[in-house]
Amino acid sequence: MNGTTWRDFYELGKPRVVALIVFTAVVGMFLAVPGMPPWDKLVFGTLGIGLAASAAAAVNHLLDQRVDAVMFRTRHRPLPTGQVTERQVLLFALTLAMVSMIMLTALVNTLTAVLTFCSLIGYAIVYTVFLKRASPQNIVIGGAAGAAPPLLGWTAVTGQAHAGAFLLFLIIFVWTPPHFWALAIHRREDYAKVGIPMLPVTHGVAYTKLQILLYTLLLLAVSVLPFVIGMSGLLYLVAALVLGLVFLWHAIRLYRSGEDDDVQVRTSAAGGGKPGAATLPMRTFSYSIWYLSLLFAALLIDHYAARLLTSI
């Protein structure tokens, strides 16, 4: 094993994924109250949720290390390369989870701690160990854990789960399948090689593209519900429609493309080249991340813009 550095542990926490998780949780906190959320709930709630998400990511690294060593996308992770040991990863994950639960229970509220723990177990154990290998609908069912952050943020501030919080949960829940299946199309050979029944492997690329298109249409409808129920205003509605229509455009282009449109780039990537950022599946995947980030930013901006206008 080479010398272990802080960067190896940083990577175990999947910082880019956790950053999006924390951002949606923070948006949930701000939307839960008409003014500013209490600073202590904001700070300790954010830290607690972020640490729990990083703990779940580290457990995922530990449980998936043999698969990660085979797949091109994950073979350079710290465990497959021997930068860290299983014991180090386990201790790291347990420490993060323990600090998270203590912080949320003592400094935020018990409901948030319980829901965060359920989300951690849902992703790290239920999804990674069972669902991921049991059904091509793994990402749909397991998406509930990934959709929890805005609900956790809401409960961190209010101590209760409001209908608005569940609507934010629903948006991410519906967003998850088209987001992840686009990546799964691009990496379908890797998933087939390790025996993980992702939808493109079990039902083919054409069927997966159809599902991406249908879920994107559903997402467009769900994304306007905050405006319909009066939770957000016109600014958010415009943003949701524009962002959703661009997502739909990507999904339609992907649906109409040929099954082997990304073969050339995937082949070069397998030979050590740069992964295929130019392929339609990867463009759809990349845009989906921007979509969710900008949609929640629009929710946040609209929330305070509306208060500013009413106070003038």
Asked whether the predicted pLDDT for residue 264 surpasses 50, the reply is: no
- Is pLDDT above 70 for 249? yes
Backbone angles phi, psi at 261, to 5 degrees: -60, -25
Q: What is the pLDDT of residue 310?
A: 58
Distance between CA 38 and CA 192 in Å, rounded?
48
Q: HEC string of 39-82?
A: HHHHHHHHHHHHHHHHHHHHHHHHHCHHHHHHCCCCCCCCCCCC
d(CA 234, CA 221): 15
Backbone angles phi, psi at 35, to 5 degrees: -110, -140
Give the integer Cα–Cα distance in Å for 193 and 53: 28
- pLDDT at position 270 is 46
Of 16-20, 117-121, 276-280, minimum mean pLDDT range: 276-280
Look at residue 277 in the predicted model and tell me its pLDDT. 41
For the chain, the structural domain boundaries read: 1-159, 162-312
Task: For 198-212, write each residue's pLDDT tens digit.
Answer: 999 999 999 999 999
Biggest distance spanned by C-alpha atoms of the chain: 63
- Asked if the model's pLDDT at residue 312 lies above 60, the reply is no
Q: Say whether pLDDT at 261 is over 60.
A: no
pLDDT in tens, 119-169: 999 998 888 888 888 888 889 888 888 899 999 999 999 999 999 999 999
Cβ density class 214-227: b for 16+ within 10 Å, e for less: ebbbebbebbeebb
Residue pair 255/210 in contact (Cβ under 8 Å)? The answer is: yes
Please check whether residue 64 is in contact with residue 201, taking contact to mean a CB–CB distance below 8 angstroms.
no
Where residue 70 falls among pLDDT bands split at 50, 70, 90? confident
Which of 92-101, 188-197, 261-270 has the weakest average pLDDT?
261-270
Q: Which residue has the higher pLDDT, 257 or 227?
A: 227
CB 248 within 8 A of CB 284: no
Q: Among all chains, which residue has been given the structure tokens 């999804």?
A: 127
| pTM score of the predicted model | 0.90
Mean per-residue pLDDT of the chain: 90
Residue with more model confidence, 182 or 258: 182
In this prediction, residue 271 carries a pLDDT of: 45
Compare 66 and 262 and report the one with higher pLDDT.
Answer: 66
Of residues 271 and 190, the one with the higher pLDDT is: 190
Q: What is the share, in percent, of the chain residues with pLDDT greater than 90?
A: 72
Q: What is the dotted CATH code of the domain comprising 1-159?
A: 1.10.357.140
Cα distance between residue 168 and residue 24, in whole Å? 9
